[in-house]
Each structure stands twice: as C-alpha cells, then as structure tokens.
Amino acid sequence: MLAVLERYAAAIAEHGVERSAAVMTSAVRDASNGAQFAATVRERFGLDARTLSGDEEARLTYLGATAARAPAAGERLLVIDIGGGSTELVVGEAGEVAFHVSTQVGVVRHSERHLASDPPSAHELTALSDAVAAAFAEAVPAAERERVTAAVAVAGTATQCAGIDLGAEGLDVEGHRLSSERLAGILEQLAALPLERRREVPGLDPDRAPTIVAGVVVLTQALRLFRRSEVEVSDRDVLWGAALETGRSTSYN
C-alpha cells in the first residue's frame, strides 16, 4: 500500500499538480490504527489525506457514479459499491442522497469466510449467497427496497463482469448493462473453474480471479434485494466524486 502511494506522490510531483486530495474510506475508518495510517499518508507523502465519514463516502460515491449520467424523470437510483471488506448501498433521487448504508459484506472478507474449495462447492456458494442476502436484508429497510427504479454498480466487481461480458479487458465499460440472467451465467461459468483457469477467462483481470466469484454473488444479491432485473456499470466511483469535489472547490485567480 505504501509503495503504491509513493508512486502516486511521485506522479503528482512530476506533473506539477497544484492541488491534490487523498480520501480514505471504510477500511481506514474501521481500522484500529486508521488515524495513525492517515497521519503517515499526510506526513510521508505530503497528501491532503482525510478519512471520509459514512455520509461523505455515500455522497461522493453517488456524485461520481452519476456525474456523466442523465437521470430519467422520477428516477430513484441505487448505487452499489462492492469492495474487499464492505459494500456500500446508496439510494438517491434528483442528484441527492436519500438513503445509504455501509455493510460488512466484502469480496475478500466473504471469499475467506465461505469459499474454501477450489472451485467452490455448491454448498459453499449457497452459504455465501444466504449470508450476503441476510446481511443486506438486515441493513436495508423494506420501504427503501421497494422505491428504487434503476441501479448502477461501480468498482471492480461490476467492471470485471462487464469485461467478461464483452470478452476483453481494457474496453470502455461505462454505461454497459448487465441483466440478472447474464450475471447468473457469469457466476455459473466462474464458479465451475479452479482458480488458475479462472485467471484465463477473457475480460477478467487475473488479479481479480480469487475474489470475483464472491463479487458476482454480492452484486446479484443486491439486485435481488432491490428487485432490479439489470444493472448499469460505471467506472466512476468515490474517487471520481472526490476529484470532482476538489475541482469545484478550487478557485482560480
């Protein structure tokens, strides 16, 4: 992690950036040494690092995911942000966040907890699906589930699924749509393969292969909870939102 930040800091210096921002989300927010890590980022790399609150993370995630998207009249949009240790579910309308929750559902956390076999067994997949469904159901009130009219998914799981659907890495996946049926097919394909063969699936980053099965399960269960039959993919997430906010708050003389 520190090596990555060092490369970022070097790139920022090389390009003569006038203003930069570093934001940290639930992983740092929940860590026992989160404050110490944030201080290290500020002092060692000279980055204006801040740990986002849950409200700030939801707002910036929603801002990023909707920045280049024209909402339909009366649309109530769900943004799904699946991470390694948590999944954020953000609901908004007319550009404003109306509901959000950060759940302890993550692709790394749940892969380690439920998927011991290679490839995973049917029993493990069922246990994983049940655990994710239960966590989401507990976190989201019934009234919020019923009012959503569209869904956008950001971050690695969603963009990787789009890549698999398109059959190649590195393509522009912004706005790509995936049906629940297609996601079920992708899950069936990936879950049947051992890890080394999963790394070879066209459109999938090999580094994502260890956790992609759990990721597709999480995405599928989120859509099921909110009764959505398809999801729109975006590669604009909380970082995009943070960049937009930083740009908007910068004054030029």
Boundaries of every domain in the chain: 2-51, 68-237
176 vs 171 pLDDT, higher one: 176
Judged against a pLDDT cut of 80, whether residue 122 lies above it is answered with yes
Q: Give per-residue pLDDT as tens, 127-165.
A: 999 999 999 999 999 999 999 999 999 989 999 999 999
Architecture field, domain 68-237: 2-Layer Sandwich (3.30)
Compute the average pLDDT of residues 203-221.
97
Residue 250 — very low, low, confident or very high, per pLDDT cuts 50/70/90? low
Percent of the chain at pLDDT exceeding 70: 98
**Which residue did the predictor score with more confidence, 209 or 241?**
209
Q: What is the average per-residue pLDDT within 214-235?
A: 96
Sole residue written with tokens 């459109």: 203
For the cut 60, the answer to whether the pLDDT of residue 200 exceeds it is yes
pLDDT digits (tens, 9 = 90+) for 8-32: 888 888 888 877 778 887 778 777 8
pLDDT-derived band of residue 244, with 50, 70 and 90 as boundaries?
confident
Q: How confident is the model at residue 231 (pLDDT cuts 50, 70, 90)?
A: very high
Q: Which residues contact 218 (CB under 8 A, 6 or more apart)?
A: 82, 87, 105, 106, 107, 110, 132, 157
- State the pLDDT confidence band at 168, using cuts at 50, 70 and 90: confident
> Rounded to whole angstroms, how far apart are CA atoms 120 and 191?
6
Confidence tier at 105 by pLDDT (50, 70, 90): very high
Contact in structure between 173 and 235 (CB atoms under 8 Å): yes
Per-residue pLDDT tens over the stretch 72-104: 778 899 999 998 888 999 999 888 899 999 998
Confidence band, pLDDT 50/70/90 cuts, at residue 253: very low
Quote the CA–CA distance of 84 and 101 in Å, as a whole number: 16
pLDDT class for 40, splitting at 50, 70, 90?
confident
For position 111, what pLDDT does the model report? 96
Q: What is the pLDDT of residue 74?
A: 83
247 or 192: which leads in pLDDT = 192
